[in-house]
């Protein structure tokens, strides 16, 4: 006997992501899903952003990695609540992992939540977490051809930061070629060249982030 | 291709809170996906009062980041002692198609590139190719 189903296999994840989103909206937690290749500067960007926003918002961080608590320890040293998710070998976070991690933070005492996804340019885009913004970091040592090689992620994000621009004089990185690729794939994306080392460009990113939150919740 | 399931231990000197993905051993992309697929098949088989699932018919888009062999590998492992043990998986591949954001031309993936053949522009709207769904199951 044949049973017709025609159902999206990832719909279970989508459903949990929707529930996460309702919970975030109900509690007034603005959530960013930060995605990048390993070493692009996800934790560094979060640290920089915390430095500029901790006086205005109560911040929390969920860190995803295959192993270790190195990232959550870095954040915890700043006095910011951090939860480490060790995925074992999984290449992305999913909505259920976020649902499980959330009670470990004090969710009633968070206004801004960074979810640092597993370093990977492929799989994380397929798994919604319930976030308000998808943030991507690409870094100059990775090369200017990345939009052409990983179009899926570049086309799926709301904001793109090009990190490590302080290294540009040392690299053969054609910023115009990189930006042409990005703009073709994702004409509406917000774009910020930054250096988490020198702090260049970070103010502009933070200003944009605060404005994005205000646009969603004008009164808070 | 695939690695054996494993979970990393954490040195005791670390202090941050550790959790895993809801107690299951999650390894690689396809294991989580295969578990969702198995759950869906079992749910429908039970609803139909079936004794056994013989076939699971899946549709996978060309750019859905799903590796057939890897799904089969995990499926054989996690379906043991369920109604789906021994079921045949079949994968129907759907080609990726794009619509150029500059000239509106529809085009397929060419040599792995998302480039419009009419105007050479990169990118465009994905019309199909990201699907991953269960079309049907066959049960006894």
Sign of the alpha-carbon dihedral angle for A139, A37, A127, A151: positive
pLDDT, mean of residues B41-70: 93
Closest by Cα among A219, A214, A75, A94 to B20: A94
Q: Which residue of B has its CA nearest to A88?
A: B7
Put simply, the chain A residues between 125 and 164 with a CB less than 8 A from any chain B CB are: 126, 147-148, 151-152, 155
Between chain A and chain B, the number of residue pairs with CB atoms below 8 A apart is 155
Q: Which of B36, B40, B123 sits opposite A151 (nearest CB)?
A: B123
**Chain A contact set for B21 (CB, 8 A):** 85, 87-88, 90, 94, 96-97, 100
pLDDT at position B63 is: 87
Does A176 contact B at CB distance below 8 Å?
A: no
**Chain B contact set for A69 (CB, 8 A):** 10, 14-16, 18
Rounded CA-CA distance A218/B97 in Å is 39
pLDDT at position B27 is: 46
Interface predicted TM-score (ipTM) of this complex, two decimals: 0.71
Question: Which of A49-63, A138-152, B28-42 shows the lowest mean pLDDT across its residues?
Answer: B28-42
Give CA angle at A92 (B136, A193), nearest 5°. Answer: 130
Quote the strand ranges of A66-153, DSSP E.
Answer: 82-86, 112-116, 133-139
Are residues A205 and A192 in contact, defined by beta-carbon separation less than 8 angstroms? yes
Question: Which of A37-41, A194-198, B8-12 shows the lowest mean pLDDT across its residues?
Answer: B8-12
Rounded CA-CA distance A135/A156 in Å is 9
Closest by Cα among A110, A149, A123 to A32: A110
**Chain B contact set for A6 (CB, 8 A):** 133-136
- Note the pLDDT tens digit of each residue in A145-171: 999 999 989 999 999 999 999 999 999
Q: Which residue of A has its CA nearest to B111?
A: A149
- Note the pLDDT tens digit of each residue in A44-54: 999 999 999 99
Q: Does the pLDDT at position B25 exceed 70?
A: no
pLDDT at position A220 is: 63
Rounded CA-CA distance B51/B83 in Å is 7
Question: Which contiguous run of DSSP H or E holds residue B56?
Answer: strand B53-61
pLDDT at position A28 is: 96
Q: What is the pTM of this model?
A: 0.84
pLDDT at position B3 is: 35
**Chain A contact set for B40 (CB, 8 A):** 5, 7, 9, 12
**Mean predicted lDDT score pLDDT of chain A:** 94
pLDDT at position B119 is: 92
Within A121-201, where are the H helices?
146-149, 151-156, 175-185
Query: Which tokens belong to A48?
Result: 């920089």
């Amino acid at each position: 006997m044949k049973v017709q189903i025609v159902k999206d296999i990832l719909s279970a994840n989508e459903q949990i992501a929707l529930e996460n989103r309702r919970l975030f909206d109900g509690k007034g937690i603005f959530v960013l899903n930060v995605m990048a290749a390993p070493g692009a500067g996800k934790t560094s960007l979060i640290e920089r952003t915390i430095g500029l926003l901790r006086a205005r918002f109560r911040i929390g961080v969920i860190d995803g990695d295959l192993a270790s608590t190195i990232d959550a320890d870095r954040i915890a040293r700043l006095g910011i609540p951090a939860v480490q998710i060790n995925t074992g070998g999984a290449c992305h976070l999913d909505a259920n992992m976020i649902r499980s991690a959330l009670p470990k933070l004090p969710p009633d005492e968070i206004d801004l939540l960074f979810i640092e996804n597993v370093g990977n340019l492929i799989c994380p885009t397929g798994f919604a977490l319930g976030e308000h913004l998808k943030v991507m970091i690409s870094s100059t040592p990775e090369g200017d051809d990345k939009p052409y090689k990983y179009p899926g992620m570049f086309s799926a994000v709301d904001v793109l930061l090009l990190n490590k621009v302080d290294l540009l004089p040392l690299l053969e990185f054609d910023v115009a070629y990189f930006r042409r690729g990005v703009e073709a794939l994702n004409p509406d994306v917000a774009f910020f060249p930054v250096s988490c080392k020198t702090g260049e460009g970070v103010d502009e990113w933070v200003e944009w982030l605060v404005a994005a939150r205000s646009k969603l919740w004008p009164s808070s | 291709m695939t690695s054996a399931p494993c979970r990393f231990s954490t040195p005791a000197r670390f202090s941050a809170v550790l959790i895993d993905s809801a107690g299951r051993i999650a390894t690689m992309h396809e294991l989580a996906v295969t578990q969702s697929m198995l759950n869906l098949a079992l749910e429908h088989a039970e609803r139909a009062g079936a004794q056994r699932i013989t076939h699971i018919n899946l549709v996978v888009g060309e750019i859905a980041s799903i590796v057939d062999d890897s799904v089969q590998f995990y499926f054989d492992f996690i379906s043991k002692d369920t109604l789906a043990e021994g079921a045949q998986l079949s994968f129907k591949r759907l080609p990726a198609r794009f619509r150029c954001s500059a000239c509106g031309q529809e085009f397929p993936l060419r040599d792995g590139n998302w480039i419009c053949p009419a105007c050479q522009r990169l990118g465009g709207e994905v019309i199909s190719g990201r699907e991953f769904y269960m079309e049907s199951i066959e049960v006894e």
